Amino acid sequence: MASKSTQDKGDLKSIFHDPDHYIKSFGVYAQASAKYQVLANWGENVFSEVVAEKLQVNIADGEAFRALGVGVGSGEMDTKMMCKLRNRYPLISNIAVEPAAGQIKLYQDLTTKMAAKLNGITTDWRKQGLDEFRRSKVESGDTTKYHFISSIHSLYYVDDLDDSVKWLYDQLEDGGMMMIITVSDNSGFWRLWNRYKLFEDQLLRFCNSEHIREACSKHKISFTNYKQKSRVDITDSFEEGNVDGQLKVDFLAHVVDFHSTASPALQQELLEYLGGPECSERRDGEVLFDNDWDAVIVTK
């Protein structure tokens, strides 16, 4: 169902036009999400079972295991996965693709703190989005393929989702594995985005896990889908003047300063929808946003 608001899209600016604001709003949202440790626990426990222990790649003596991470953010999940992979592969060459300079700096600081645990892992940070990274590989004649590829909440920002999934699969070595995480097709995030299409622009194209599965099926790529329940406390988003709450709404809508750029009618409508049963559940006085996501796992 599309939004019935008469909001002029020209008043709304995608959060990706302001990297500093993106990092600020994402940081607040991620902190609220971390309260339930879902993604961290998945990277710590489930990843080993469904990826690290199932990899069947041949690595010659002295050769490095090659990993590619797309949209690695500040590195919390990526470093957990690298540590799990390092248990099997002592040498890892990791390409970390991330368009936000601030996020790369946080990742680099994290690797410094974790130096002992990351021994044997070399990381090459690329300040690029996936489309830019693809072009740079073509232009440089780089034909490197990878034993593991991850894309965590990053395929919302590509020009052609279907083609991107196929291209990533083509970059895998035989026996390699790919993991793509996006919002679930049954999540509050998807229902919010699907209702408010006006939040999309040339830098953001809404998609969900069903779109990833459809792309895989179209290209005859076998996959396994893992669903993960996740909730984020957005109670403070309904407290007038609460800065953290406003930043959470900015991240959810992917709009810069939504509280000051959207019309009062759209603000009221969005908050009512966010707090309603389509997007959230209420428990012990808290409003918990449905942040469910899926991991699509592929083996080549």
CA distance 132 to 150: 17
Question: Which tens digits make up the pLDDT trace of 88-104?
Answer: 999 999 999 999 898 99
The mean pLDDT value for 221-231 works out to: 94
pLDDT band at 35 (very low <50, low <70, confident <90, very high): low
Q: Indicate yes or no: pTM above 0.85.
A: yes
pLDDT value at 122 more than 60: yes
Cβ–Cβ under 8 Å, residues 72 and 270: no
The mean pLDDT value for 51-76 works out to: 93
pLDDT value at 68 more than 90: yes
Q: H-helix or E-strand containing 68? A: strand 65-70
Cβ–Cβ under 8 Å, residues 227 and 239: no
- Angular region, 257: left φ>0, alpha ψ -120 to 50, beta rest: left
- Angular region, 220: left φ>0, alpha ψ -120 to 50, beta rest: left
At 1 the pLDDT is 41
Q: Which two tokens stand for residue 118?
A: 């990351």
- Angular region, 75: left φ>0, alpha ψ -120 to 50, beta rest: left
Ranked by mean pLDDT, the top range of 19-28, 60-69, 192-201 is 60-69
Cβ–Cβ under 8 Å, residues 255 and 14: yes
Average pLDDT, the chain: 91
- Percent of all residues in the chain with a pLDDT value above 90, rounded to a whole number: 75
Residue 149: strand pairing partners: 68, 178
pLDDT value at 251 more than 70: yes
CA distance 50 to 21: 35
Question: Which tens digits make up the pLDDT trace of 5-27?
Answer: 444 555 788 887 788 898 899 88
At 5 the pLDDT is 46
> How many helices (H) does the chain have, and how many strands (E)?
12, 10
At 292 the pLDDT is 94
pLDDT band at 298 (very low <50, low <70, confident <90, very high): very high
Q: Which of 263, 272, 188 is closest to 238 using CA atoms?
A: 272
